Amino acid sequence: MTEEIRIGVYICHCGSNIAGTVDVEEVARWAGHLTNVISSRDYKFMCSSLGQEMIEKDIKEKGVNRVVVASCTPHLHELTYRNALARAGLNPYFFEMANIREQVSWVTTDRVEATKKAEALVAAAVSRVAWHEALEPLFVPIDPNVLIVGGGVAGIQAALEIADAGNHVYMVEREPSIGGHMAQLDKTFPTLDCSACILTPKMFNVGNHKNVTLMTWSEVEKVDGYIGNFTVTIRKRARYVDTGLCTGCGVCEEKCPKKVVDDVFEAGVGHRKVVYRPFPQAVPNYPVIDRPNCTFFQKGTCKACEKFCPTGAIKFDQQDEVLTVKVGNIILATGWDLFDARRIPQYGYGRIRNVFSSMEFERLSNAAGPTGGKIVMRDGVSVPKSVGIIHCVGSRDKHYNNYCSAICCMQSLKFAHLVHEKTGAQVHNFYIDIRTPAKAYDEFYQRVLDEGTIFIRGKVAEISDSPRTAEEEGKIIVQVDDSLAGRQRRIPLDMVVLSAGLEPRHDAKEVAIKFGISCSADRWFMEKHPKLDPVATMTDGVFVAGVCVGPKDIPASVAQGSAAAARVLSIIGQKEIQIDAATAIVNEESCVGCKECIPSCPYQAIEFLEDKRKAYVREALCKGCGTCVGTCLSKSISLRHFTDDQLVAEMIGAMTAMKMFEQAQTEVA
C-alpha cells in the first residue's frame, strides 16, 4: 500500500430508526479517532441526496479515498453509496457498509450496549476498508429471447407483453393446453365476467403470435448458464399426435370408446376421453393420448382414433423429444395446487356424497362443465334447497397451511351469489373473518348480504352425516360454534362446498432447485424483496409471477405477469448487463488441478482447463459465495472483495474495539 489511506466515516440516524437506540453523535465522535480516519460525521438520512453529496464533497475536497457508511443493510443501499463514490471519481469498491440498524438498533434495547456494538461494527469496517482493492465490474451481453414456464393467466400476460415488444418467447406448459386454473373457472369476482370469455382471446393470441413458440405437454428438464445467457433443456412429451397433420377436428375424441374421470380440468367431477383436449377452446387445439389409460397401449388393440382420423395424424410410435433453447431471461409462472380437502377427515370430503370442493363447484357452475352449468347434487339431478359454503378450508391452520389463501373469501361470496341466482337455495356462509380488501370487493360482499345469504362466524368444526334429530335425517349437518350468537349450532343442509385453499405446486421445491431460486418455509417461491422487488428473485435473470410466489387473485396475478415482463424488457433494453466484481479467482501458480472445487460450486461456474490442468472460474457465472475458497486444498482460490486480508482486518477491527471497551470498564471499576 503506497498511497495514503484517508477514510471517511458516515453514521446514519435513519430518522429515529437508528438514532432512537444508538447514540449516533457519540459513534461519529469515537470513530473520528480510529486509525486512518480523517473525517467522521453523522447525518439524519445518509441515503438522501444531501447525505450522498456530503460523501462526494469529502472525497473531492478532503481527499477521502476510502468510505465507510454505518446505516442499514447493504441489500438496500450498498449500490446507492457505490454510485456516489463513482460519481466523485473513486472506485466504487473502496466502500464498506456497517449495518447498525438490522443488526443493532432493531434488535437491541439497551442504549449503551447498542452504542458499543455500533462502534465495534464501525471499527471493523474501518479496519477492513483500508484493505479494499479497486475492482472493475464485468459486462455480459443479453440474449433477447425469454423462457416463460407456465401458461396460466400470469404467464400468458407476461408472454404477450414481451412478444408484442418484439422479443421471442418460448412458453413451456405441462398440461396439453395453456389457460391454467383460470380456464376452469365459471365467473370471476367481483364483476362476474365469464372467465373463459375474457381469457380465451388472450390464449388465442399466445397460440398465434409470431414471436411465441408454444410448447405444451412439455417440461423444463435442465437450466444452465446465467443472466443473459441461459441454455434450457425442454422435454416435449409424446402426444402420439402429429401436430403438423392434425387439424383439431375432434373426430378422434368423438370416436374414442374409453371415458375416464378427468381429475385435472374437470376437477374429478366430470369425464373425458382417453384421446382428448381438456376443453374445446384449448390452445393449441391438438389432442393428446393419455397413454396409461389407452386401450391400445395397454392391450394392443383398438386404434379407433387412428382409424377415423381424416389426416392420419395419430402416431402411436411417437417418442418424447428433447430440445434446447437459448434465452437471456426466465419467468416462472407455475401457479398452484388446490388444497386436498380429504386431508381434513372431519369435513367428510370423499366420504359424504354431497360435500364438494371449490373446484368441483366451479365446474358444476360452468356452462361448459359436466352438468352444463346446473348446480346439482352428486346424483347429477337433484337441485339443492340449502347450501353451505365453508371458508378457510386448509388455510390459517397450523395443521395444514398457516397462511391465508387470499382468494377464498371472495370466491365463497361468488359461490353464494351463483347458488342464489341459479337455484334459489338458501345459502349459509361459514367464515372466520371476511377479507375483501380490493376495489369493489366489499361492495360485492354487501350485495351478497343483500341477496339474503346467511353469514355465520365460526370455523366449521365438523361436517356430519350422522343425524341426531328428525330434522337432520338425510341431511349433511354442519356443526359450528356460531361465535356471534355464542352457541354451538348444527345446521342441516343438502349440499356443502369447501373453499379449499391454494398450495404451492407439489413439486415447487424441485422446480426451485432446477432454476436456482429458493422457497419460503411454506414452499412458495421467494421473491427478492416482498415489497420493493416482488417479481425478481435472488438469481439474476430469473423472475417469478402469479400464485407461485404466494396466494393472489386474477388481477394481482395479471399485474405480476406484466411486472415481470417489464423487468425482463428493461434488461433486454440494456443489451448488456453488469455483474458484481466480487468473484472468485484461481491462482494458477499454486492450483494443483485436483478438481475438488468443481462439484462444490452451486452455480457450475468452475471449469477445468484441460490444456493447463488448472481450474478456471467463469466470472459471469460466479456469485461470489466463497464455497470453492473453503474447498480448495492448496488455498489457490481467493474471493475478490472477501480476501483473507480483508476478513482478518475486519475481525481485528471489531476485537480491538471490544478490548478497548473492556479496558474502559476495568478503569471505571
Partner 1 sequence: MNYTYFPGCSLEKNAACYDASTRAVAAQLGMQLTEVEDWNCCGATEYVSLNLTAAYSLIARNLAQASKNTSTHELVAPCSACYLNLRKCDKVLGQDPKFAGRVVQALAAGGLSYKPGTLHIRHLLDVLYQDVGLEALAAKVTKPLRGLRVAPYYGCMIVRPEFHDGGEDPEAPTSLDEILKALGADVVDYPLKAACCGGHMTQISEATGFDMIHRLVKSAADLNADLIATLCPMCQLNLDGFQGAMNRHFGSHFHMPVLYFTQLIGLAMGMSMREMGIGEEIVDARAALSRIGSEMAAEAAEPKRPRKDDKALPMPAPLKRA
Partner 2 sequence: MEHNHASSFMDEVSSSAPGGEALRTCIQCGTCGGSCPSGPDMQHTPRQIFALIRAGERDVVLKSNTPWYCVSCYYCTVRCPKEIPVTEIMYTLKRMAVRDKAFDDSKAPDFSKVFIRWVEEFGRSFELGLMGVHMIRHNPFGAFKIMDMAVGMVTKGRMAFTPTRIKGLDGLKRILAKAKELEAQA
Give the footprint of partner 1 on this chain (CB under 8 A).
Answer: 261, 268-271, 340, 342-343, 345-346, 349-351, 353, 357, 364, 370-371, 376, 378-381, 464-468
Would you say 119 or 266 has its CB closer to partner 1? 266
459 binds, among partner 1, partner 2, none (CB under 5 to 8 A by kind): partner 2
Q: Which of 548, 554, 566 has its CA nearest to residue 198?
A: 554
* Per-residue b or e along 613-634, where b marks 16 or more CB atoms closer than 10 Å to that residue's CB: ebbbbbbbbbbbbbbbbebbee
464 binds, among partner 2, partner 1, none (CB under 5 to 8 A by kind): partner 1
First to last CA, the chain: 41
Would you say 408 or 617 has its CB closer to partner 2? 408
Pairwise CA distance, residues 657 & 649, whole Å: 12
35 binds, among partner 1, partner 2, none (CB under 5 to 8 A by kind): none
C-alpha pair distances (Å), 55 with each of 22, 77, 115, 134, 329: 21, 14, 23, 18, 36
432 binds, among partner 1, partner 2, none (CB under 5 to 8 A by kind): partner 2
Would you say 380 or 555 has its CB closer to partner 1? 380
Pairwise CA distance, residues 324 & 220, whole Å: 9
**What is the SS3 assignment for 457?**
strand
Compute, in degrees rounded to 10, the torsion defined by CA atoms 141, 538, 535, 327: 30
353 binds, among partner 2, partner 1, none (CB under 5 to 8 A by kind): partner 1
Closest approach, Cβ 486 to partner 2, in A, equals 6
Pairwise CA distance, residues 549 & 537, whole Å: 10
Pairwise CA distance, residues 186 & 417, whole Å: 12
Residue 545 in contact with residue 539, Cβ under 8 Å?
no
Closest approach, Cβ 510 to partner 2, in A, equals 29
Pairwise CA distance, residues 669 & 629, whole Å: 45
458 binds, among partner 2, partner 1, none (CB under 5 to 8 A by kind): partner 2
Closest approach, Cβ 496 to partner 2, in A, equals 15
Which contiguous run of DSSP H or E holds residue 627? helix 627-631
Closest approach, Cβ 268 to partner 1, in A, equals 5
Residue with cell 460450486: 601
Closest approach, Cβ 563 to partner 1, in A, equals 36
Residues lying near partner 2 in the complex (CB under 8 A)? 346, 396-399, 432, 457-462, 479-483, 486-488
Strands laid side by side in the 146-149 sheet: 212-215, 169-172, 146-149, 329-332, 542-544
CB-count exposure of residue 379 (10 Å: 0-12, 13-18, 19+):
exposed
Closest approach, Cβ 361 to partner 2, in A, equals 23
Provide the β-strand partners of residue 325. 232
Would you say 229 or 366 has its CB closer to partner 1? 366
Closest approach, Cβ 189 to partner 2, in A, equals 23
Would you say 1 or 381 has its CB closer to partner 1? 381
345 binds, among partner 1, partner 2, none (CB under 5 to 8 A by kind): partner 1
Residue 190 preceded by cis peptide, ω within 30? yes
351 binds, among partner 1, partner 2, none (CB under 5 to 8 A by kind): partner 1
Would you say 396 or 505 has its CB closer to partner 2? 396
311 binds, among partner 2, partner 1, none (CB under 5 to 8 A by kind): none
18 binds, among partner 1, partner 2, none (CB under 5 to 8 A by kind): none
Pairwise CA distance, residues 84 & 82, whole Å: 5
Would you say 488 or 587 has its CB closer to partner 2? 488
Closest approach, Cβ 571 to partner 1, in A, equals 42
Would you say 253 or 340 has its CB closer to partner 1? 340
DSSP per position, 62-110: H---EEEEEES-HHHHHHHHHHHHHHTTS-TTSEEEEE-IIIIITT---
Closest approach, Cβ 369 to partner 1, in A, equals 10
Contacts of 648 (CB under 8 A, 6+ apart): none
479 binds, among partner 1, partner 2, none (CB under 5 to 8 A by kind): partner 2
Closest approach, Cβ 523 to partner 1, in A, equals 17
Hey, what's the cell of 26? 457519540
CB-count exposure of residue 134 (10 Å: 0-12, 13-18, 19+):
exposed
Closest approach, Cβ 466 to partner 1, in A, equals 5
Closest approach, Cβ 344 to partner 2, in A, equals 9
Would you say 37 or 460 has its CB closer to partner 1? 460
Would you say 240 or 430 has its CB closer to partner 2? 430
Would you say 385 or 468 has its CB closer to partner 1? 468
Hey, what's the cell of 17? 430508526
Would you say 27 or 376 has its CB closer to partner 1? 376
* Per-residue b or e along 227-261, where b marks 16 or more CB atoms closer than 10 Å to that residue's CB: bbbbebebbbbbbbbeeeebeeeebbbeebebeee
44 binds, among partner 1, partner 2, none (CB under 5 to 8 A by kind): none
Residue with cell 466504487: 92
